[in-house]
Amino acid sequence: MYILKLIFKNAFRHKLRTWLTILGITIAILAFGLLRTVISAWYAGVEASSASRLVTRNSISIIFTLPLSYKERIRQIDGVKIVSWGNWFGGIYIDEKNFFANFAVDPKTYFELYPELIISPDQKAAFIRDRKGFVAGRKLAERFGWKLGDSVTLRGTIFAGQWDFVMRGIYRGRDKTVDETTFFFQWDYLNEKMKKSSPARADQIGFYMIGVTKPEIAADVAVNIDKTFKNSVAETLTETEKAFQLGWIAMSQAIVTAIQLVSFVVIIIIMAVMANTMAMTARERIGEYSIFKTLGFGGRYIAALIFGESLIISMIGCAFGIAFTFPAAKSFGNALSNFFPTFNVATETIYMDIAAALLVGTVAGIFPTLRSIRIRIADGLRRIG
């Protein structure tokens, strides 16, 4: 109790210096927390993906297509439960900055394969009935104020022309990790227009999504699918959805690595700042610590004083940093909802914040403590007066 009081008093002796250091740590922890949240948002798709779903695409590249005829052949492979298919549409709504993901999918099988997308049976039926119908995620619909029955036009990029749609449903995610910003419309609509305008591109599929009977056989099924289409016009590459998502991330791996690096650099910088503060403090107090030693207090007591002070400062900064991370992540997430459908501060991020602050406080205390313990009392006392 006594020593705790003393540590607190010591910590706030130079109020300005201490508060500036706390401010620095607050900002560092806030930045660290947000950067870690960006990384987890990046991986959110992977976390949400199911181990019992496979994605089959053209083995050359994702931009090459597969024939529609593969559908029946995939369906006959052992262990395959559902086959769904879709194309990345890449349409633009009014302006490019309104970016959101939009896909042409088969409505019947798609929602069956993705039970985490929750849509009312009425709306689902309405969507299936209307060739020009579309379904939007809750957040996407809120973003543009779309209501059921509204007409929306997308400008095609990969598939030229103006494409008119009518809103037939809104889906929401089963939990917070599910993206609610995607736009789905009927693959048949896309295909019919292609048949008329550019028949060569009709009956072509971007990727098949396959549900297997149980996760354990997913890898075997994937191998069998690819074997089936070996030496055919379009060879396939089948991966679990998780691997498929990770493939996307791998493409942006450099960015993720950079963000990860920056998050650690932030901590290292604040560690240097904090170590400097503690070194300054301990240098000024060398005389006082020598008095403690003179009176018979051992090195452990001096260590407790210095580490205690260092940790109190870093943990106060950490507490503020964490407190600010939540509102900051919220507004950050709102601003970047196009890029990060889910942007939530993970519990692990909070643990990492705390671990980082503990590390900063501890490291900053090491050298001043060693110095204060090692200095001969007579030399330390000489610094007074």
Partner 1 sequence: MPKNALVEPRSIVVIRNVSKSYRRGSQTIPVLENVSFDIAEGKFLALMGPSGSGKSTLLNLLAGIDSVDSGSIAVGGLDITTLSEMDLARWRAVNVGFIFQFYNLIPVLTAFGNVELPLLLTKLSKKQRREHVDLALSMVGLSDRIDHYPNQLSGGQQQRVAIARAVVTDPTILVADEPTGDLDRVSAAEILDLMGRLNKDLGKTIIMVTHDARAAAKAHLIKQLDKGVFIDVHS
Q: How far is the CB of 377 from partner 1 (least distance, A)?
A: 4
Q: Which of residues 179-218 bind partner 1 (CB under 8 A)?
A: none
8-state DSSP, 231: T
Site string for partner 1, 13-52 (x = CB under 8 A): x---------------------------------------
Secondary element (H or E) of residue 35: helix 15-48
Window of 55-63, 102-110, 135-143, 375-383 that interacts with partner 1 by CB under 8 A = 375-383
Is residue 210 within 8 Å of residue 74, measured between CB atoms?
Answer: yes
**145 or 385, CB closer to partner 1?**
385
Phi then psi for residue 206, to 5 deg, are: -70, -50
Q: Which of 10, 40, 177, 238 binds partner 1 (CB under 8 A)?
A: 10
Q: How far is the CB of 172 from partner 1 (least distance, A)?
A: 57
Gap between the Cα atoms of 197 and 163, Å rounded:
13
Q: In which residue are the tokens 């990860």 written?
A: 260
SS3 assignment, position 185: strand
**19 or 297, CB closer to partner 1?**
297
330 binds partner 1 (CB under 8 A): no
2 binds partner 1 (CB under 8 A): yes
Is residue 51 within 8 Å of residue 218, measured between CB atoms?
Answer: yes
The b/e string for 268-284 (b: 16+ C-beta within 10 A; e otherwise) is eebbebbbebbeebbee
Window of 5-13, 196-204, 245-253, 340-348 that interacts with partner 1 by CB under 8 A = 5-13
> In this structure, how many other beta carbons lie within 10 angstroms of the beta carbon of residue 153?
11
Q: How far is the CB of 20 from partner 1 (least distance, A)?
A: 20
Instruction: Please report how many Cα atoms fall inside a 13 Å half-sphere around the Cα of residue 363, on the Cβ side.
Output: 16
376 binds partner 1 (CB under 8 A): yes
Site string for partner 1, 265-304 (x = CB under 8 A): ----------------------xx--xxxxxxxx------
Window of 6-14, 40-48, 57-65, 98-106 that interacts with partner 1 by CB under 8 A = 6-14
Secondary element (H or E) of residue 103: strand 102-105
Q: In which residue are the tokens 């002796």 written?
A: 13
Is residue 65 within 8 Å of residue 206, measured between CB atoms?
Answer: yes
**18 or 263, CB closer to partner 1?**
18
- Which of 288, 274, 279, 293 shows the shortest CA–CA distance to 371? 279
**8 or 339, CB closer to partner 1?**
8
Q: How far is the CB of 308 from partner 1 (least distance, A)?
A: 13
Residues near partner 1 (CB under 8 A): 2, 6, 9-10, 13, 287-288, 291-298, 376-378, 381, 384-385
